[in-house]
């Protein structure tokens, strides 16, 4: 085992001694209570089975068999989740056929960040993760289940479902992925048309045609954004079947994987010899495996927030320093957009997550002594396929061939991982360095300060940003307006870079996982609305960003400055934002997971 990986794991375990103990004790009590259906009254049971046919009723009531909860994030607004429509029927058919049972315990909301990017809805996006965690808990609170299947993929949904399921960590739990859409026009082509639109070279019609050729059918988006990062990282954490994340929704293999995981999770329930509760599957070692996979693949910056909140839901205290330390020793082994030009389908074609995990294992960067939901960690180095008889089999990977998508362990794309922590007199923030050219890792310039991304667009259109400027977008932190993704600014910033300007973004907001080439210090904490030093900045101040050393400093003396007044824009009302006031009041800082559940109780 790599000594730094071992050290970080040990530090997480040590720091989390009390919280993990409390968590496991809570789960132990839940596990030791009477099996759920024994604890329910006849009236409770009758309500639970009322809508089912007699035969199915009997199966649900049969305490010798498993009753599996399905928590679904189906809707047909999200291309990634649209395939889930028929999954509950498939799962129920398989399980009832085997004498077990399954029920849709509940549906959780699922918003598409692609639809809400740059729109008001984005201000509820991050908060939707905790809402989904609560909705998952409400679904499972019927307490009639022996295992859980989570049907969720995209950005906030899968992390929220996992957080909710961890509160029911006595239940064996697995994710059921649905796979990516087929490749349309390439992500590079899509970005180029956006940049042309931003500079006025093409009109809206050409832009819409380009967007519709990129996003053209069901399945997850093909770039390596937050949704696909969830999938890769969760597979690496053993929360789904090996090699299952990126099989196309219409592939026959996809259906067999869904049937297999349904049967499998039912076989793990309490009382069986195979009992494997989520609380044991998800340990500090599992968490570190997920982080190693995140860093080696150049995954989404959003995971510097979600992984902390997920860890906390399992009683584990993870810090940005842990992620930064791992990033120093985990090489970048994946090159897909925005860290390269290929997409997630190319990654799958080259062996996908099992191939990546094999390379990481060769480098001794993975904990192999964990308890994934299926088999052992060595099984996660194998790839699923269908035999001639149509049976699902997991096969050893072929020897690796040259690949410009997944590097071999001895020839990584970069020697360090994808994320960097930056600290200094402006606070702490994270930068995704996997896609950034070496010459852009250090940027010094005068700042142009904004409080609203739309004002940046206006300034760009007026030519005010032409030059070597660091664009600061503050008052976009979790307490202010829910920490929206500012991905809308990327075509503008890219155009400025293409003109030869040395630019960077500094913000207490977020960026999409699909953002890459622009140096951007994100999630700056403390946020402007909570006394952060970025609230002191004024146009013309000199700021230096150094993603090699890990520093962000303002060269101007700020000691006599007072904080700027937050913008007058009403973030508190309209389009449902009024219902999230409690979230804005209670949310923890980004480096503590930006969650309403764990604010202030961690030293
Ligand atoms: O974090 C993410 O991955 C994004 O939120 C992603 O879910 C969103 O859909 C992007 O807006 C799409 O990226 P493009 O706009 O570049 O296609």
Ligand 1 pocket at CB < 6 A:
113-114, 117, 155, 221, 225-227, 300, 302, 485, 487, 512-514
Question: Tens digit of pLDDT for each residue in 483-518?
Answer: 999 999 999 999 999 999 999 999 999 998 888 899
CA distance 194 to 91: 41
Pick the atom of ligand 1 nearest to 490's CA.
16
Tell me what pLDDT residue 402 has.
67
Parallel, antiparallel or unpaired: strands 419-424 and 392-396: unpaired
Which atom of ligand 1 is the closest one to the Cα of 125?
5
**Pocket mutation for ligand 1, best pick of 487, 489, 492, 520 (most atoms within 8 Å of C-beta):** 487
Going from the Cα of 497 to the center of ligand 1, the distance in angstroms, rounded, reads: 21
Q: Whose CA is nearest to atom 8 of ligand 1?
A: 114
Q: If you take atom 3 of ligand 1, which residue's CA is the nearest one?
A: 225
Closest by CA position to 79, among listed 204, 206, 221, 199: 221
Cα–Cα dist 218/476, whole Å = 32
- 419-569: CATH, from 3.50.30.80, 3.40.50.720, 2.140.10.30, 3.40.50.1370: 3.50.30.80
Strand order in the sheet with 173-175: 101-107, 67-72, 147-151, 173-175
Cα separation, 435 vs 336, whole angstroms: 10
For tokens 């770039």, name the residue.
Answer: 223
The rounded radius of gyration (Å) of the Cα atoms in the chain is 24
Ligand 1 atom nearest 215 alpha carbon: 17
Q: What is the complex's ipTM, to 2 decimals?
A: 0.95
Nearest to 68 by CA among 88, 53, 51: 88
* Confidence at residue 602, expressed as pLDDT on a 0 to 100 scale: 53
Residues 318, 312: Cα–Cα separation, whole Å: 7
Mutate to test the pocket of ligand 1, among 211, 514, 520 (most ligand atoms within 8 A of CB): 514
Give SS3 for 596.
coil
Question: Which residues make beta-bridge pairs with 421?
Answer: 430
Q: Collapsing DSSP states into helix, strand and coil, what is residue 438?
A: helix
How remote is the CA of residue 480 from the centroid of ligand 1, in Å? 22
Measured in residues, the chain has a length of 603
d(CA 518, ligand 1 centre) in Å:
15
Q: pLDDT below 70 — which residues of the chain?
A: 34-35, 401-402, 600-603
Residue 180 CA to ligand 1 center (angstroms) comes to 14
Cα separation values, 42 from 46, 48, 103, 317, 402, Å: 6, 10, 18, 41, 62
Residue nearest to atom 10 of ligand 1 (CA): 114
Q: Calculate how far, in angstroms, residue 430's C-alpha sits from the geometric centre of ligand 1.
A: 18
> Which sequence spans correspond to the domains of the chain?
3-33+65-182+217-396, 419-569
**Buried (b) or exposed (e) across 479-514, using 16+ Cβ within 10 A?**
bbbbbbbbbbbbbbbbbbbeeeebbbbbbbbbbbbb
Out of 125, 193, 221, give the residue to mutate to test ligand 1, the one with the largest number of ligand atoms within 8 Å of its CB.
221
Q: How many whole angstroms from 285 Cα to the centroid of ligand 1?
A: 29
The reported pTM is: 0.97
Task: Return d(Cα 39, Cα 42) in angstroms, integer.
Answer: 10
CA of 7 to the centre of ligand 1 (A): 34
For residue 188, how far is its CA from the centre of ligand 1 (angstroms)?
Answer: 14
Ligand 1 atom closest to Cα of residue 221: 9
d(CA 535, CA 532): 6
* Contact partners, residue 41, CB within 8 Å, separation at least 6: none
How many angstroms does the Cα of residue 294 sit away from the middle of ligand 1?
Answer: 17
pLDDT per residue over 307-360, tens digit each?
999 999 999 999 999 999 999 999 999 999 999 999 999 999 999 999 999 999
CA distance 489 to 491: 6
- From the list 116, 79, 80, 111, the residue with the least C-alpha distance to 488 is 116
Q: Are 517 and 437 in contact (CB under 8 A)?
A: yes
Which of the 8 DSSP states describes residue 331?
A: P
3-state secondary structure of 71: strand
* pLDDT tens per residue across span 573-585: 899 999 999 999 9
Whose CA is closest to atom 4 on ligand 1? 512
Q: Are 392 and 243 spatial neighbours (Cβ–Cβ below 8 Å)?
A: no
Ligand 1 atom closest to Cα of residue 228: 3
In whole angstroms, what is the distance from residue 152 CA to residue 389 CA?
30
Nearest ligand 1 atom to alpha carbon 511: 1
- How many angstroms does the Cα of residue 511 sit away from the middle of ligand 1? 9
In ligand 1, the atom with minimum distance to the C-alpha of 485 is 5
In angstroms, how far is the first alpha carbon of the chain from the final one? 29
């Amino acid at each position: 085992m790599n000594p730094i990986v071992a050290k970080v794991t040990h530090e997480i375990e040590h720091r989390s001694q009390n919280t993990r103990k409390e968590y496991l004790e809570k789960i132990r009590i839940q596990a030791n209570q009477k099996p759920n259906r024994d604890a329910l009254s006849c009236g409770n049971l009758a309500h639970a089975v009322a809508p089912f046919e007699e035969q199915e009723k009997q199966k649900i009531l049969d305490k010798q068999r498993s009753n599996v909860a399905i928590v679904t994030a189906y809707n047909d607004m999200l291309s990634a989740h649209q395939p889930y429509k028929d999954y509950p029927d498939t799962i129920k058919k398989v399980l009832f056929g085997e004498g077990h049972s399954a029920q849709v315990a509940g549906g959780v909301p699922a918003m598409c960040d692609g639809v809400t990017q740059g729109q008001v809805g984005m201000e509820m996006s991050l908060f939707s993760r905790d809402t989904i965690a609560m909705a998952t808990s409400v679904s499972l609170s019927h307490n009639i289940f022996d295992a859980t299947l989570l049907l969720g993929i995209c950005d906030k949904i899968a992390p929220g479902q996992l957080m909710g399921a961890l509160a029911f960590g006595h239940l064996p739990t697995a994710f059921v992925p649905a796979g990516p859409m087929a490749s349309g026009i390439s992500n590079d082509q899509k970005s180029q048309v956006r940049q042309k639109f931003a500079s006025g070279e093409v009109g809206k019609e050409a832009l819409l045609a380009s967007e519709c050729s990129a996003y053209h059918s069901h399945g997850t988006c093909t770039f390596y954004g937050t949704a696909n990062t969830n999938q890769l990282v969760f597979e690496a954490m053993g929360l789904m079947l090996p090699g299952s994340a990126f099989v196309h929704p219409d592939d026959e293999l996809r259906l067999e994987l869904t049937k297999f995981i349904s049967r499998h999770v039912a076989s793990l329930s309490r009382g069986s010899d195979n009992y494997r509760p989520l609380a044991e599957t998800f340990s500090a070692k599992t968490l570190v495996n997920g982080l190693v996979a995140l860093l080696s693949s150049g995954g989404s910056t959003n995971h510097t927030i979600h992984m902390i909140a997920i860890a906390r839901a399992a009683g584990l205290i993870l810090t940005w320093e842990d992620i930064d330390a791992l990033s120093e020793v985990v090489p970048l082994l994946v090159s897909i957009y925005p860290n390269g030009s290929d997409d997630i389908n190319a990654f799958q074609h080259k062996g996908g997550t099992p191939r990546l995990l094999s390379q990481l294992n060769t480098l001794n960067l993975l904990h192999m002594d964990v308890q994934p939901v299926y088999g052992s960690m060595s099984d996660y180095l194998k790839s699923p396929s269908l035999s001639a008889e149509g049976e699902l089999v997991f096969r050893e990977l072929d020897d690796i061939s040259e690949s410009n998508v997944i590097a071999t362990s001895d020839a990584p794309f970069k020697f360090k991982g994808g994320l960097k922590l930056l600290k200094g007199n402006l606070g702490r923030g994270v930068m995704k360095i996997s896609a950034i050219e070496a010459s852009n890792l250090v940027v010094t310039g005068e700042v142009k300060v904004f409080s609203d991304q739309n004002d940046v667009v206006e300034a760009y259109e007026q030519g005010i940003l032409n030059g070597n400027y660091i664009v600061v977008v503050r008052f976009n932190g979790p307490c202010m307006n829910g920490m929206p993704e500012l991905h809308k600014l990327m075509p503008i910033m890219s155009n400025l870079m293409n003109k030869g300007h040395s630019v960077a973004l500094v913000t207490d907001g977020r960026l999409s996982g699909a953002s890459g080439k622009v140096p951007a210090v994100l999630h700056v904490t403390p946020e402007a609305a909570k006394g952060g030093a970025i609230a002191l900045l004024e146009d013309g101040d000199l700021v230096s960003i150094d993603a090699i050393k890990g520093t962000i400093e303002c060269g101007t003396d700020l000691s006599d400055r007072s904080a700027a007044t937050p913008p007058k824009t009403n973030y508190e009302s309209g389009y449902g934002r009024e219902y999230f006031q409690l979230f804005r009041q209670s949310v923890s800082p980004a480096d503590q997971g930006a969650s309403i559940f764990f604010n202030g109780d961690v030293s």
